[in-house]
Structure 1
Amino acid sequence: MAQFTLKHKDHFHGSDLEKIEEIYHIPKEKITSFSANINPLGISRNLRESISEHIDVIQTYPDREYKDLRKVIAEYAGTTYENVIVGNGSTELISLMIQADAPKKAMILGPSYSEYEREISLRGGQTVYYPLKEEEDFQLNPDDLCRHLTDDLDLLILCNPNNPTSTAISNDKMRTILDACMVHGIFVMVDETYVEFTHADEKISSVPLTDSYTNIVVLRGTSKFFAAPGLRLGYAITGNTDLIRKVISLQNPWSISSIAEVAGRLMFSDTEYINQTRTLIDTERTRIFRELQAWNSIKVYQPKANFILVRILREDMDADILFDHCIRKGLMIRNCSTFPFLSNKYFRFCFMNPEDNDRLLAQLRRDVNV
């Protein structure tokens, strides 16, 4: 299999509403973003109602070790607090992990999130891609991946569930990959930004594996599931104590604000909100996938996360045209042509509230499934 090195074009990210507003002259408040992959429920009611009661915390520095927050995260994620590192969003932690590991050569599954490649490049490393195959519905074949692991690789990055394909690697398959990586001395970074949206029975999270493997770190954030991208709160879980010490030595002190620390403790313990989110996403994911499967004009790939990847089969339609049609109706989808190995025949959208989902489906029916 050939190894690929790619460059990325500029594109509209789910957070680029100001840019959309400027180009299309549509007030950003009137745009429903199906591109950002954020929980449609918004921030939890518990957080909204309680955060003002804790506003005085901004008068003092937070605990430098964030012990209380790490204990709440550990209980939520199913690990011990000693294995938890917190950071200024998962983006900071990705940067710190790559800085700590200092990979000369890293492998990323493609198509995937571009920030990994950027961080590796900033540290002077080289990135190669292992392409997921469209003919296999972008499902990873772990045995084939393992055959392409070599001793010159230092780091393997897996987004699980993967963005933008919404495919996922089960716990047992991840064990196969970790075992092979141990043989080659490869460290594995697993980005679980979207894992909380998956069905509990799927057993996708790699957190339990951090108890028995020292060559893995799991990264998560609060931007998507807890609808709090502006909070900038992320966390990492690993059983590798040497890595924990190194990351902490590289990290700036108090990288999380006092208010973010309090907000985290409130969010992770809000079981009503967590269960409500999972029920909504499970229901809408099943409903939308079943409907789109019946359309002859597209191909859909079974989603595990809170978004779905779609390929347009019609010759007279592509994602550039579709994006333009949708945004003019205040509906923002994600043109996936800027992801590695995807063309402008692919688009992605996340699951919102049923009413918003129905609006988008109606628009797609008019534009694509005519």
Structure 2
Amino acid sequence: MSENQKQTRPAFHGSDIEQIEKYYGIPKETIIKFGANVNPLGLSASVRKAMAEHLDIITSYPDRDYKTLRQAIAGYCNTDINYVVTGNGSTELISLLITQRNARHALVIGPTYSEYERELSLTGGRISNYNLEESQEFRIDLRHLEYALDDDVDFLILCNPNNPTSSALTCDELDSLVKRCKERKIFVMIDETYVEFAPSIDEISAVPLTARYDNLMIIRGVSKFFAAPGLRLGYGITSNRAFLDNLKQRQNPWSLNSLGAFAGEIMLKDRDYISRTRELILSERRKCLTVLEDYRYAKAYPAYGNFILVKILKEGITSFDVFDHAIRQGMMIRDCSSFSGLSGEYIRFCIMMPKDNERLLHCLGELLA
């Protein structure tokens, strides 16, 4: 494909469902959203029922300290309530964290979520990228990373599991990294948006490290695992008391509404929903990876998130070609050409319900098997 063709073809984000509807003339209600990375079970029935029965809660302001919500988060994550801060989605907390750190030189592990760099660019500091290597199946080489930590780097950002690669570091590996950063006075932000989809949450979550290191903040939310992106509930975990106090002083009061705070308490305690979600994702992810192993012109990578990154190996077939082929059959996947630092032709799709996954794999197989 020529450079002019690449520049004129449409580029859709995973949530650009309205633009896709307009461009292809496909009713958005009929499109299966394999590009959004949201739990296919949808909102928990018990949460929906509880919210409907407590709508009057919006007539009152929420508790300014969100104490009961923070208690629920602390219990869910097995951490100290005093380490927990809530926000209007993880996006608000990422913005507040980056603004307050005001880094001289931030290093971002990529390819990854573009919002990190957008927020960093507003602070005026220097931004560097450490791009994961395909030859390493997009896992971080910790020894090599140390060489990238220049003397003036004071802020490190990584997503674990990472989006779009679905790769992850273990808690032990993160321990080594955060310890090294502590010695060099580098603050670390770890975005754990997808950690609950991992085969073993305990194996890769860095939450236990917050009790030992005050140069670390974990960011999470309920958009993906609990299928509640519109709720705008995010939370952060850090033991850095001074930093937390400073962050809260600059955060808008009542940044999370009463209904969102109430729903958060309910969903984090819904063990049946949590169990069903993990059973579905872990089982279907294994099936999808097994099928993809037999595709001659596709390479799938080990996946810890609820999505799988696939490299296209067939000459003349681009990521947009595969996206276009799928959307014309009513399935929206992610064309990864917009991810900075991801060289080559890649697509990403999230795990949906079994029949939908079978349909997509058949569709991909028409081009790549």
TM-score (norm 1): 0.96
Unaligned runs of 5+ in 1: 1-8
Amino acid at match of 1:122: L
| 1:27-56 deviation per Cα after TM superposition (whole angstroms, max 9, x unaligned) | 100100100100000011111111111111
The aligned residue for residue 194 of structure 1 is 194
Deviation at 1:11, TM superposition (A): 3.4
Asked whether the 8 Å contact 2:193–2:224 carries over to 1, the reply is yes
The code of the aligned residue for 1:300 comes to: A
- Give the Cα separation in 2 of the matches to 1:362 and 1:314: 17
Deviations 1:117-157 (A, max 9, x none): 00000111221101111111111111211232122011100
1:224 aligns to what SS in structure 2?
coil
| C-alpha contact 2:295 2:368 (8 A) present in aligned 1 | no
Code of the residue aligned with 1:251 in structure 2: it is Q
Distance 1:12 1:259 in 2: 32
Distance 2:254 2:286 in 1: 42
Q: CA deviation at 1:341?
A: 2.0
1:114 aligns with 2:114: yes
Contact 1:336 1:343 in 2 (8 A): no
**How far is the alpha carbon of 1:309 from its aligned partner?**
0.4
TM-score, with structure 2 as normaliser = 0.96
Q: Please name the residue that 1:154 is paired with.
A: 154
Partner of 1:18: 18
Distance in 2 between residues matched to 1:343 and 1:141, nearest whole Å: 18
Report what 1:129 is aligned to: 129
Q: Distance in 1 between matches of 2:136 and 2:280?
A: 28
Aligned partner letter, 1:128: S
Q: Runs of 5+ in structure 2 lacking a partner?
A: 1-8
Query: In terms of mean alpha carbon deviation, does 339-348 or 267-276 score higher?
Result: 339-348
Q: For residues 202 and 262 of structure 1, what CA distance do their matches in structure 2 show?
A: 27
* % identity of equivalent residues: 50
User: Residue type of the partner of 2:249?
Assistant: S
Residue type matched to 2:273 in 1?
Y
**CA–CA separation in structure 2 for the residues paired with 1:247 and 1:10:** 39
Give the partner amino acid of 1:314: K
1:351 match: 351
Pairwise CA distance, 1:10: 8.3
Deviation at 1:12, TM superposition (A): 1.4
SS in 2 for 1:203: helix
1:182-236 Cα distance to aligned partner (Å, 9 max, x none): 1211000000000000012661000000010101000001100000000000000
- For 1:161 and 1:260, the matched residues in 2 are separated by 25
CA contact (8 A) 2:104 2:126 kept: yes
Matched, 1:103 2:112: no
> In 2, are the aligned partners of 1:168 and 1:204 still within 8 Å (CA)?
yes
Of the structure 1 ranges 193-202 and 118-127, higher mean CA displacement relative to structure 2 is found in 193-202
The answer on whether the counterparts of 2:307 and 2:350 sit within 8 Å (CA) in structure 1 is yes
Partners of 1:202 and 1:349 in 2: how far apart?
A: 25
| Pairing 1:48-127 to 2, within 5 Å after superposition | 48-127=48-127
2:30 paired with 1:37: no
> Which residue of the partner structure matches residue 313 of structure 1?
313
Who is 2:300 aligned against? Answer: 300
Structure 2: distance between partners of 1:327 and 1:251: 40
- Distance, in Å, in 2 between the alignment partners of 1:298 and 1:325 is 15
* Contact 1:151-1:185 within 8 A present in 2 as well: no
Give structure 1 regions of 4+ aligned residues with deviation exceeding 3 angstroms.
none
Which secondary structure does the structure 1 equivalent of 2:54 belong to? helix
Distance 1:209 1:102, change over 3 A: same
Does structure 1 retain, via aligned residues, the 8 Å contact 2:296–2:368? no
Q: Provide the secondary structure at the position in 2 that maps to 1:64.
A: coil
Q: CA RMSD in A?
A: 1.2
